[in-house]
A = this chain, B = another copy of it.
Amino acid sequence: MGLTKTEHFTEKQNAIATMAKALGHPARIAILEYLLKVDTCICGDIVNELPLAQPTISQHLKELKSAGLIKGSVEGTSICYCIDEKGLEKLQSYFATISLKLNKKNNKCC
C-alpha cells in the first residue's frame, strides 16, 4: 500500500507526526542546525554546506517549509530561509510534556 491512514488518528497526532517526519532525515536535521548556527538568515549557501545537489536541497527545504518548521522569503534573486519558531516550539513542548508525564509515573516496567 504505502498509504498512511491519517484519517484514523487525531489531528494533533497527525500534526506531530508530520513535523517529526520532516525531521526524519539527516539532511533536514543538518539544515535546521545550519539555520540555527548562522546569525543572518540564510539563502542558497546551504547548497555549499551540504553534500547534496541543489535540487535535492530545494526539495528538503520544501518539506521543512510545508511542515511549518522553516520559513522562506524572497530577497532579491535569492531566498532567505529561516527557522519557524512556532513549529519548533510545538514539537519542543510536545516532547517536554511527554517527558514530564514519563517522570511523573516513574515507569517501573520492562
Contacts and interface: CB of A to CB of B under 8 A. Distances in A.
Interface in A52-91: 52, 71-73, 80-83, 85, 88-89, 91
Interface in A28-42: 28-30, 32-33, 36, 39-41
A105 B109 CA distance: 41
Contacts of A71: 110
When all copies of this chain in the complex are counted, the total is 2
Interface residues of A, number: 53
User: Among A17, A80, A101, which residue has the most Cβ atoms of chain B within 10 A?
Assistant: A17
Interface in A88-110: 88-89, 91-92, 95-96, 98-99, 101-102, 105, 107, 109-110
Contacts of A36: 98, 101-102
Interface string A1-35: 00011101110011011101111111111101100
Nearest to A26: B9
Contacts of A10: 26, 30
Contact of A23 (B6, B20, B72): B20
Contact of A99 (B21, B29, B89): B89
